[in-house]
Amino acid sequence: MQIIIRRNFVAGGFLPRIADKRPLNRVAIDQSTVYPVKMVFILGVNFPERNLLKASNTYTHIGEPQHDPKSLESFFGIGNHTSSRLLARFNIHPTCRVGELANKQVLDMTAVLSDMKIENDLRREVLNDIKRLKETGTYRGRRHALGLPVRGQRTRTQIKTPVKLNRMERRL
Amino acid sequence: MASAWCWSCLSRLRPTPQAVLPPSSAIPRGTSAFHSSAIQYAPPLKKKSNSMTQLKYRQGQTLRRKKKKTVEKARPPAPGERKAMRKRIVLSNPNALEVEGMQEISAENIVDARLRGSVLGLPVPMLDQLRAVQAFKPKQGWSIFRRPGAVVRRDTVEMGRLFEKISGEGDAPEKGKVVKKVVTGMKGSGKTVHLLQAMSMAFLKKWVVVTVPEARELVSGDTAYVPVEGSKPTQYIQPGATSALLMRTVEANREVLSSLKVSQKHEIAGLKPASSLEDLAKLGFQDPAVAWPVFKALWTELTATAAAPGMEKDFQPRPPMLVAVDGLAHWMQNSAYRDLDFNLIHAHDLIFVKHFLSLLRNGQAELKNGGMLLYATSTSNSPGVYALEVGLDQMAARQAGTSPTSPEYPSAEAYSNADPRVLDLFKPIEGKEPQMELQNLGGLTRDETRGYLEYFARSGLLREPINEQWVGEKWSMSGGGIIGELEKLGRHVRSAAIPTPTA
């Protein structure tokens, strides 16, 4: 497992991050890099100003590459449900761009996000849960280890995802 | 090995002469080439390479198709380009013929009933103003004619008379009155163009025009919203939308606003004592954070009848105001915004919306210098709001003389869960305040239809002999002169020449 250490400017500490395949809209913080667009820090991650915090349905084009990535939902553990509630909590409209946020909103958002169990904490928790299932020798743990569906799905067809994901060294 | 017996006639075959036989490589000697064929000479079976039938371990049995190759597309348009194309408004078509003797709308001819059925052009200097208040909509057919214009119909002349009365000279009895109208009508009946005609008249009469061209934009959750602290129930300011409203208002009414001076005391930072209303409004669109206080200040100025003590120096009487809103139904339900508890915010809790809706109830008290409120519904972009339908039915019934206590008076059905806030808005108004009226736009009359279609013909779009019978046919086909349908019939260009009668 490759781990990139990025400096967490907001919290002022080091935050180990698992490298994922989505670095396009999330730029590793590096003092030497010159950014072509202005960036906004949210929880130690640098987002381009033009990014949408959370697009409404009208702004997502099915089948097209998404030009306006949803910044909040790029955190592991934040999906549609959580991001909508976060926005409502700070009175931010759904089509707001990262650059339109007031400084206070950015800081408040970061404070709330840092209290939530997201990103590596959440990854670790999920992996620990799976590990526990395997170690106690449960049926579910076995299915995880064998690369088979865990929740009673049929195995005759359509098990691409478990074949891909469920393995001894599970990754997230 | 094929048998040397012919199985159909049970006779033994004689060897075929060498000359008749095909080359020996193809068929060996001693066998018949046509009676039956030997399996061993058949070409060897190809190994089945098709994975469609050969299943691997744990592979799906559903039909698998080859994936289509992704076709290389041209580069997509730059950000914003698609929207710009979508919102583009073309007001002139150089290919269309110029209509000779076409009159322009003017302060004098708006009350001229003789012009009914003729198309009046919009003066060129006014086009910028109309564009600024977004009176033109992208899907209207402005681009098929040489210049923009609108047909004068009965409702137009009536509206012209109202404008004349409200801005009347001297001690006219109707001066300073406020007319409140909800404009409805079926699809294509010309509600938005009716608003445009109202705006053009207001510009001619030097009124101040305040418009909300798309009511939906305020409730669709696309602009910022800020709660007002201490308000109960919590109300919300929309700084971005207010700033845009100020921009529209200043752009369209620059001449009037720059001639009027600030006459009241406002607590707005950066406001100089003798500045014009234009300068006041500009403060708002430079900084959206103060847009709402600035709009309120501008509103107080425009509705003022006298200057505050000590500021009488440059006070000039304020002109009447036209307030036009298009797409009213969007304001009659929950907006897309959420409050802190993730509940949807009702549109009436947005201060911007509330301000304009409250004018329907107390417009006369608010607009002390008189004016007109035109709130149009839309049929092309409208959420179905049951309470609004009931409210409009009730208004229609009251106008027809039905008493609100009579059993015929429409009311919301039991268990229909009609929005009480919307029903309250359309209740009869008590006190001195005038009632709001319902204006239902119908079709054109036959005479107006004829004038309208003749305009198409004179613009070179229509190549038909226009006579009474033909006009009657089109009038019927358009559902009784619905102007949007007439436009479709009129712009349908016949490419084939009219057949000439043979001798």
Q: Kindly report, residue by residue over A61-97, the tens digit of the pLDDT.
A: 444 444 556 778 888 888 889 988 988 999 998 888 8
My answer on whether A75 and A151 are in the same domain is no
User: What mean pLDDT comes out for the span B114-130?
Assistant: 93
* Proportion of chain B above pLDDT 70, given as a percent: 85
CB B150 within 8 A of CB B197: yes
Confidence label for B32 from pLDDT (cuts 50, 70 and 90)? low
CB B133 within 8 A of CB B161: no
Residue of B nearest to A101 (CA): B224
My answer on whether A106 and A131 are in the same domain is no
- Can you tell me the distance from the alpha carbon of B492 to that of B302, in angstroms, rounded to the nearest whole number? 46
My answer on whether B361 and B482 are in the same domain is no
Helix axes B468-477, B446-458, angle to 10 degrees: 100
Q: Which residues of A touch B61 (CB under 8 A)?
A: 156-157
My answer on whether A8 and A88 are in the same domain is yes
CA B135 vs. chain centroid, Å, equals 10
My answer on whether B346 and B392 are in the same domain is yes
Question: Residue B307 class from Cβ within 10 Å (0-12 exposed, 13-18 middle, 19+ buried)?
Answer: middle
Residue of B nearest to A100 (CA): B224
My answer on whether B344 and B463 are in the same domain is no
**Cβ within 8 Å, pair B342-A84:** yes
Range among A15-24, B207-216, B424-433 with highest mean pLDDT value: B207-216
Give the closest of A93, A94, A158 to B60, CB-based: A158
Which structural domain range is residue B460 located in? 446-491
- Can you tell me the distance from the alpha carbon of B359 to that of A26, in angstroms, rounded to the nearest whole number? 48
Higher-pLDDT residue of B26 and B168 is B168
User: What mean pLDDT comes out for the span B451-463?
Assistant: 91
> Domain for residue B39, yes or no?
no
Confidence label for B3 from pLDDT (cuts 50, 70 and 90)? low
pLDDT on residue A167:
81
My answer on whether A99 and A38 are in the same domain is yes
Q: What is the pLDDT of residues A94-142, one digit of tens each?
A: 888 888 888 888 888 888 988 988 888 999 999 999 999 999 999 999 9
Q: What is the pLDDT of residues B324-354, one digit of tens each?
A: 999 999 999 999 999 999 999 999 999 999 9
> Domain for residue B82, yes or no?
no
Mean pLDDT, all residues of chain B? 86
My answer on whether A71 and A130 are in the same domain is no
Q: Which of A93, A105, A154 should we substitute to test contact with B (largest number of B Cβ atoms within 10 Å)?
A: A93
pLDDT on residue B338:
93
pLDDT on residue B58:
63
My answer on whether A129 and A94 are in the same domain is no
My answer on whether B430 and B454 are in the same domain is no
Q: In the predicted model, is pLDDT for residue A22 greater than 60?
A: no
* Proportion of chain B above pLDDT 90, given as a percent: 59
CB B373 within 8 A of CB B360: yes
My answer on whether A98 and A132 are in the same domain is no
Of A110-114, A128-132, B248-252, B269-273, least confident by mean pLDDT is B269-273
Q: In the predicted model, is pLDDT for residue B136 greater than 60?
A: yes
Of A22-31, B310-319, B354-363, least confident by mean pLDDT is A22-31
> Domain for residue B154, yes or no?
no
Residue where a domain terminates, one of B417, B438, B459: B438
Confidence label for A60 from pLDDT (cuts 50, 70 and 90)? very low
Which structural domain range is residue A45 located in? 3-116
Q: What residues have CB less than 8 Å from B98, skipping those under 6 apart?
A: B146, B147
What's the ipTM? 0.72
Q: What is the pLDDT of residues B383-398, one digit of tens each?
A: 999 999 999 999 999 9
Range among B4-13, B133-142, B310-319, B486-495 with highest mean pLDDT value: B133-142
Q: What is the dihedral of CA B488, B493, B496, B498, to 10 degrees?
A: 80
My answer on whether A93 and A127 are in the same domain is no
Q: How many interchain CB pairs under 8 A, A with B?
A: 40
**Cβ within 8 Å, pair A91-B340:** yes
Mean pLDDT, all residues of chain A? 72
3-state secondary structure of A5: strand
Q: State the smallest CA–CA distance between residue A88 and chain B in angstroms.
A: 5
> Domain for residue A150, yes or no?
yes
**Cβ within 8 Å, pair B222-A93:** yes
Confidence label for B497 from pLDDT (cuts 50, 70 and 90)? low
**Cβ within 8 Å, pair B340-A156:** no
In chain A, how many domains are there? 2
> Domain for residue B92, yes or no?
no
**Cβ within 8 Å, pair B223-A93:** yes
Residue where a domain terminates, one of A78, A97, A116: A116
> Domain for residue B384, yes or no?
yes
My answer on whether A109 and A127 are in the same domain is no
CB B469 within 8 A of CB B217: no
Q: Which two tokens stand for residue B389?
A: 């339908």
H or E element that contains B126: helix B124-132
Sign, CA dihedral B337-B341-B346-B347, equals negative
My answer on whether A13 and A70 are in the same domain is yes
Q: In the predicted model, is pLDDT for residue B300 greater than 80?
A: yes
pLDDT on residue B75:
82
> Domain for residue B170, yes or no?
no
pLDDT on residue A19:
38
